[in-house]
Structure 1
Amino acid sequence: MFISTKGRYGLYFMTVLADNYNSCKRSVKSVAIERGISDLYLEQIVAKLKKANLVKSTRGAHGGYELSMPPEDISVYMIFKAVEENILVIEQDEKDTKNEKYLWREMRDAMSGVMKNTTLYDLITSPDEIEEYMFYI
């Protein structure tokens, strides 16, 4: 499974909004500066989040973006579904055996379950001691 920068930045933007839920709105530019990414690129991602009704915006001096619902109601799956073209794609080969196809389906379903059962609230309240890691297959 490959998570693109769209997915990563969309998730980061949403966790920032979750951290600020019911306290303040955030601009795309301020989040882009924090993350060190292009605000134009992040704006494209945020437009998809807005279209999926995960965020709402307010114009004006005290404007910006905020979550459209509580963090506990927004799953990681909802975020990735909004910004990624394809999520949890495991390509099958016509030479795959029945057992291999079963394994690919089980892996996809397991990842999907984790994403559907993990909310923004879970992410912002998880322990800070979690070490960074990468998986290589």
Structure 2
Amino acid sequence: MDIVKTTKDVAQKAEEKVEKGLEVVKETFNNVASHLPLANLAKHDNDKFTIEVDLPGVKKEDIELKVEDDYLTVTAVRRYKNEVKEDDYYLRESNFGVISRSFVLSDNIDRDKIEAKFEDGRLYLTLEKVESKKTKNISIK
């Protein structure tokens, strides 16, 4: 038995298994990512923030917003149906799933003044600082 050839064979098999494992991990992350909506955070001034959450294929009535403890959670149900009817075939692909994203709210965010607007597949959340934490200009006498 040639030890060099055996070592090369073992190394090649190990490499193939690692590559297959990476493909499974990549597929898993893609599946998880499809259930995590993308979001952008913008600071408009010293006292107001906006979070934009992409929710394509979601209807307004299928979105739930909840503030619990220090978390603002967006949960939505995505229902997608692609249907093709032709003379010689029928195709129907459906996709259904719950997507969710949570954001940590700092102590300086006023939980009672959070506003939400949904437009063209995008949820706009506006957060304001509590009054005592807002920036104040002081006049000089």
- Which bracket does the TM-score occupy, shorter chain normalised? under 0.3
What TM-score does the superposition give when structure 2 sets the normalisation length? 0.22
What TM-score does the superposition give when structure 1 sets the normalisation length? 0.22
Bigger radius of gyration, 1 or 2? 2
* Higher fraction of helix: 1
